[in-house]
Amino acid sequence: MSEPRLNLGIKTKLTTSLLITPQMTQSLSILQMPLAELALELSNYLETNPALESDDFDMDIEAEEDGRDESEQIAEETLLENLVSPEWDNYIGDGNSNELSFSPQPGDDEPDYEDYISAGETLSEHLSKQLKTANLNEKQLEIGNMIIGNLDETGYFQADIFEIAELCNCTGREVLEVLSVIKTFDPAGIASENLIECILAQLSELGVSEGEYVQIREILLNYTSELESRRYDEIVRKTGLDRENLNEILEIIRRTDPFPGMKFASDSNKFITPDAYIIPNGDGFDVRLNETGLPAMRLNSFYLRTIASPELDENTRKYMEDKIKGAVWILRSLHKRQKAIYKVTKAIVDVQRDYLKLGEEYFKPLRLKDIADMTELHESTVSRVTAGKYILTDQGMLELKSFFSKKLDTTDGDTSSRSVKTQMRAILDKEPPNSPYSDDRLTHILNDMGIDIARRTVAKYREEMKIPKKAQRKRIKLSG
């Protein structure tokens, strides 16, 4: 019997990748920060980096700059070119960013949106604003206000549907319909009737797949006691999941907020500051960045003059070079952030113009990649620009990420999942009270409308909208 042969060899593979330096990490962080957080961070940079100074541009400084020797200015420009690598431009795009000062966009003519947001906004105020834009009739608004008034401070709905129906002189069905609308409001999970419902309502925002959603729902519904007592090995044994998969599911659950209403508690100082204003202008919209509170900054002129001196000792020169390099990166990153937020927001608003004007039915399918292609930015850059950023519109405060939605095939082209949900709700609002539509029947109706959708997707959307199954709807409608 011959000995097995061991084949040893060396293979080489040439790849191209970008090394993310600490400076790039800092720039990505600046890109992703919401406005209020960025203002605090820039104040910290001004305190800790002497190469940065607050830019007041008084007459004495301007006169001093004008009188500088031309050779001195050329030496400084050459130094700065050598300090900052062009790699960053290749990654984030828009490479014309040699500005050595930063001035926030003026806020003197900002829209007066006091009716939309304030630092002390309560949960009731936050939900009432959304209720007003939900395209409901007068009776439904009355019911909605009653429901909102019966939410506890954690955001849960604990009242009796039929008591509210009696108070509003309406049917239980009408209360349930309005409740299902409120359950789609921000924050996700609001008006839930129990913890499991609250968690499930937040999963779509976390980007979980359909398979993950089904697994999480099964575990929450069937293994509550095991979860509470942390008997994870029992869950693994009973479900057949491996421990790694279960850990991933548990991590998703931990990322949800079990008390979505608490962020609006009276002792909370947290509120949302818009990163841009959307102003109607004829058939379209103008985008105006909000940079109120950001300090104007520039490179310290003393540092630039001193480092160009040939008499500077090596240790001092190295220290000053590091500080100047850090300052340049901060200033360039601010300009890139400014341009990226404008480009991404403008592209999103252009795509979703009809939605902003006419409502949910006109919401178009949109992916991060679509905006990346339109703006010629990296897809990860678009993701960072939209993360945690809000725009203020006539419809209220909207998160940039909320403008993205998956596509569904239709006979007339593509439509968004949000638009399909709107049409589903309209169909179910008109279904016969004594014979509500099953998920199969609803699927056939949507298919006849030209929407190619599977029954399991219809069931998923119905559950996401907190609409009960056929039998439950029939009991509620007949009892009302």
pLDDT tens, position by position, 262-283: 877 654 444 577 889 999 888 8
Query: How large is the angle between the packed helices 417-429 and 439-448, nearest 10 degrees?
Result: 110
Report the mean per-residue pLDDT for the chain: 76
| Residue 197: partners with Cβ closer than 8 Å, 6 or more residues away | 189, 466
Q: Does 145 have pLDDT greater than 90?
A: no
Q: Residues in the chain, how many?
A: 480
- Whether 352 has a pLDDT exceeding 80, the answer reads yes
Q: What are phi and psi of 202, to 5 degrees?
A: -95, -10
Compare 97 and 140 and report the one with higher pLDDT: 140
pLDDT given for residue 407 in this prediction: 56
Q: At 213, list the tokens.
A: 């959603």
What does the pLDDT read at residue 205?
Answer: 73
Angle between helices 22-32 and 35-48 in degrees, nearest 10: 140
Predicted local distance difference test score (pLDDT) of residue 12: 47
Give every CB contact of residue 33 below 8 A, 6+ residues apart in sequence. 41, 388
Q: Does the predicted TM-score (pTM) go above 0.85?
A: no
* pLDDT above 70 coverage of the chain, percent: 76
Stretch 318-326: mean pLDDT:
85
Q: What is the pLDDT of residue 203?
A: 85
What is d(CA 208, CA 200) in angstroms, rounded to the nearest whole number?
Answer: 10
Residue 188 has pLDDT above 80, yes or no: yes
Residue type for position 223: Y
Mean pLDDT of 327-351: 90
Ordered alpha helix ranges (H), 150-273:
161-167, 172-182, 195-202, 210-222, 224-228, 232-239, 243-254
Kindly list the distances between the CA atom of residue 268 and the CA atoms of 256, 293, 398, in Å, as whole numbers in the listed order. Answer: 19, 21, 21
Residues 6+ apart with CB under 8 A from 218: 239
